[in-house]
Structure 1
Amino acid sequence: MGRTATKQTRSLQTNITASRAEQDNEMYIEGYFAVFNTETELWRGAFESIAPGAFDETLSNDIRALINHDTNLVLGRNKAGTLELKVDSRGLWGRIKINPNDTDAVNLYERVKRGDVDQCSFGFNILEEDVEYRDDGTVKWTLKKVDLHEVSVVTFPAYEDTSVQARMTEYEQHKKRQLEQRKLQLKERIRNGFKAIDAN
């Protein structure tokens, strides 16, 4: 199912780590920015997961690594060779090469190294997704194809209210359509019931 391109963010409770390469003494922040086939609960009874292959056509985009989704705080960029991104069987992995002359980047590196900051998020548009309305009343969206813009190292990972609100609206519209359908079916049954009585 295709989607309109509204920018969204998703967060991941994962461990981002800081490391220093022995050969060239470069500083890096690395880890998984997204994990496949893991359900995230958006609200009670509503889930979302990322399908393997969701990032396959997007890694050639001009992607930035940011601090807390702030476009003024750029840590790295894949086109500049300072952000490396790749997909494996687990998810989307990234490594950011820290600029030693950038105070914000070095400060973040030190916070990650100490474990004060260890989580991440990514910004994207949904290009293709599946939605499954389950019999138990729960719903699950599976992101099949996304258009990736940025990855972020974040202090507090959280789904944006707008992203969750969009999902809630979609779910409410589905529930409303279901209710209308049930009303129509009930009216039809009543009408057919009266026809059966009249026939006798």
Structure 2
Amino acid sequence: MKKEKEIRGISYRATVSEESRHVEGYALLFNVDSRAMWGGDLIERIAPTALEGVLEKSDILCLMNHDERRGVLARYRMGEGSLKLEVDEKGLKYSFDAPNTPLGDELIESLKRGDISESSFAFTVEDDNWERKEDGSYVRTILKFERLYDVSPVYYPAYEDTSVALRSIEALKEAETKAATEKAEIEKREFEEYFNNLKNRF
């Protein structure tokens, strides 16, 4: 089944050098709770294992606001290209020299003015884990990305409440209901067996 592309953002400002057109920032952070989604019922975290073996096989664009129609700021292709990506203990760091194009000029000016203050990335997931907390909310931990599509300096961080989350939450609720039903049936059988044994004594 085809994986659904998702988009997430982080409140980590991309910066530009005063002396050059060099831009850098973090596209994603490890072990940091996302903002609440689904009306506050879901937060996400990215495990440090999520990028293992992913970058080496990825073709990743750096875009403005995830909009490829406006042009490409930089590109990373299997370890080569004008977009530099580095995984460290904090997360995925990106850097590039903004091109001498209208789009590159807009980015530089927007960064210097503080109009762009966030970063965002697009991805599909290979493996994740879901947990339900005591307050009824859910935590999704992304264990492994399948692919990264782009990293983007953005005016507003994108948090799409995708159908991936909805399907996963519904599946988890269904599994919890099934487990509770099975537990109740087992307890009922055990009680009936105990009651019958007790009755046979008299």
TM-score (norm 2): 0.84
In 1, the alpha carbon distance for the partners of 2:151 and 2:178 equals 41
The count of residues paired between Structure 1 and Structure 2 equals 191
User: Following TM superposition, by how much is the alpha carbon of 1:13 offset from its aligned partner in structure 2, in angstroms?
Assistant: 1.1
Structure 2 counterpart SS, 1:82: coil
Deviation at 1:184, TM superposition (A): 2.9
- Rounded to whole Å, the distance in 2 between the matches of 1:184 and 1:51 is 33
Aligned to 2:181: 183
Q: Separation in 1 of the partners of 2:124 and 2:134? A: 29
2:50 is matched with 54
Aligned position for 1:14: 12
| Cα deviation, residue 130, structure 1 | 2.6
Note if 1:27 corresponds to 2:27.
no
> For 1:32-62, what per-residue CA distance to the aligned partner results, in whole angstroms no more than 9, with x for missing partners?
1111110113342422111113223222322
Change (3 A) 1:77 1:191: same
Query: Within 1, Cα distance between the matches of 2:83 and 2:68?
Result: 15
**Structure 1 SS opposite 2:31:** coil
Task: Say yes or no: does 1:98 pair with 2:92.
Answer: no
Kept after mapping to 2: 8 A contact 1:131/1:139: yes
Letter in 2 for 1:170: S
Q: Counterparts in 2 of 1:1-200, with a 5 A limit? A: 5-21=3-19, 26-40=20-34, 41-43=36-38, 44-60=40-56, 61-72=58-69, 73-79=71-77, 81-100=81-100, 102-146=101-145, 147-162=147-162, 165-199=163-197, 200=199
Cα distance in 2 between the residues matched to 1:38 and 1:190: 43
Which secondary structure state, in structure 1, belongs to the residue aligned with residue 142 of structure 2? strand
Q: Distance in 2 between matches of 1:42 and 1:84?
A: 30
Overall identity of the aligned pairs, in %: 31
State the alpha-carbon separation in 2 of the partners of residues 78 and 47 from structure 1. Answer: 29
Aligned-CA RMSD value: 2.1
Give 1:149's aligned amino acid.
Y
2:144 alignment partner AA: K
State whether residues 4 and 126 of structure 1, in contact with CA within 8 Å, keep that contact through their aligned partners in structure 2.
no
Which is richer in strand? 1
Distance 2:4 2:142 in 1: 14
Q: Determine helix, strand or coil for the equivalent of 1:52.
A: coil
SS of match in other structure, 1:34: strand
Task: Tell me if the contact between 1:59 and 1:86 (Cα under 8 Å) persists in the aligned partners.
Answer: no
Alignment check: 8 A CA contact 1:19 1:113 kept: no
Q: Structure 1: state its 5+ residue gaps.
A: none
Cα distance in 1 for residues equivalent to 2:64 and 2:96: 11
Q: Please tell me whether the aligned partners of residues 68 and 152 of structure 1 are also in contact (alpha carbons under 8 angstroms).
A: yes
Instruction: Tell me the TM-score normalized by structure 1.
Output: 0.85
The code of the aligned residue for 2:181 comes to: K
Encode CA deviations 1:106-151: one digit per residue, 9 max, x unaligned.
Answer: 1121011110111111111112223333444332222222121210
1:69 maps to amino acid: H
The separation in 2 between residues aligned to 1:132 and 1:181, in whole angstroms, is: 15
SS in 2 for 1:78: strand
Q: Deviations over 1:57-102 (max 9, x none)?
A: 22232211011111223111124632111111111111121111x1
